[in-house]
A = this chain, B = another copy of it.
């Protein structure tokens, strides 16, 4: 029998962390997870203060992730965390994830998965050897209408695919906020902590992941033009021509300097029989268009949606669900899979519907290929191999 409630630990995510708070809300909202342990900051005083405000017991708030791994594995089965969420800056994802997996503890990790493709490939091996569940929070795949889009494409409702246009403009780095004490901006624009890309690494990789999730297509080659304003060391805008497998063409672009844009991720997928369009800022609608037919808007929560989309909804139609709920769907599926494995059961396809280490490696391959393409005079840059 499967366990109802799971015990969650967290590394990173102290006060002021945007994404740590999102992970916690996503994990807690369904009442099936308790947060019981954490190494919430590399600054011990901040870690303790954060832990207290979150109601952690003092002995489960650790001063370092190393101490956390060491102590948690010593606890009994009915006390030890059932999984850990890793929400640190990018460069720390790899060592922390490695340590927990090797200690036999499943990991839910923020994206991008690692600092480099090399690390990513190594992590794929580690996940496989560990036989533990690993989930990557490419959270946009958790939206019900994204699942419906995937269902329709994979069910052939658009015919043969011809084109993908995916874009993600923001404006939060238009001004040099990283010099004005904005903590997240500081590490994102710092190559030591972000890796070789900022904009493509952070949000361009969401575009790649979303397009792959919906269509199942791999990129063959790309032609990138990344740039930066104000002589920043890393890109904050990137425009890319894409060639996916099967002759599918397209455009992928991401920007952190597009004035007035908030978080405007959009995807359009065109096939021989129809097309679909989804906007993250109005996530409950999926627009479907077919030649010579009225436009259709599929809406979250309705009984006509596919099973995966229905499972990903908590509320009836017209009661909108959004970002945190989509994030919570990643947690729900990942933890259902953890529960299944712990109970010696095979998780279902609906349960294993969450991004994993292969998606993470694909993302790093895309990021590194885009950066190298941008530096290259070669028009079509073949995407790097990411599988073992």
**Is the C-beta of A377 less than 8 angstroms from some C-beta in chain B?**
yes
**When the two chains form their complex, are residues B260 and A275 in contact, meaning their CB atoms are under 8 A apart?**
yes
Q: A4-B52, A263-B316, A378-B379 are in contact. Are A324 and B292 (CB under 8 A)?
A: no
In angstroms, Cα B290 to Cα A332, docked, is 32
Interface size class of A (residues with CB under 8 A): 35 or more
Q: Whole-angstrom distance from the CB of A117 to the nearest CB of chain B?
A: 23
Q: Are A270 and B257 touching (Cβ within 8 A)? A: yes
Q: What 1/0 flags go to A303-335 for Cβ under 8 Å of B? A: 110000000001111111111110000000000
CB atoms of B239 and A251 under 8 A apart? yes
> Does A232 sit at the interface, judged by CB under 8 A?
no
Closest chain B residue, CB of each to CB of A279: B320
Is the contact region of chain A dominated by helix, strand, or loop, or is it mixed?
A: loop
One complex includes copies of this chain to the number of 4
Kindly list chain B residues whose C-beta atoms are within 8 Å of the C-beta of A315. 18, 22, 323-324
Query: Are the C-beta atoms of B4 and A255 separated by less than 8 Å?
Result: no
B289 touches A293 (CB 8 A): no
Chain B residue nearest in CB terms to A320: B322
A28-41 contact mask (Cβ, 8 Å, vs B): 1 or 0? 11111011000000
Contact of B31 with A25 in the complex, beta carbons under 8 Å:
yes
Cβ of A96 within 8 Å of any chain B Cβ, yes or no, is no
Is A192 positioned at the interface, with any CB of B under 8 Å from its CB? Answer: no
Name the segment of A70-78, A81-89, A130-138, A221-229 touching the other chain.
A221-229
A17 within 8 Å of B (CB atoms): no
Assess whether B31 is in contact with A172, with CB atoms less than 8 Å apart: no
Q: Which 3 A-B pairs have the closest CB atoms?
A: A260-B289, A262-B318, A263-B318
* A interface with B by C-beta (< 8 Å): 4-5, 18, 21-22, 24-25, 28-32, 34-35, 52-55, 158-159, 162-163, 165, 167, 169-172, 174-175, 223, 225, 227, 229, 237, 239, 241, 243, 249-251, 253, 255, 257-264, 268, 270-275, 280-284, 288-299, 301-304, 314-325, 376-379
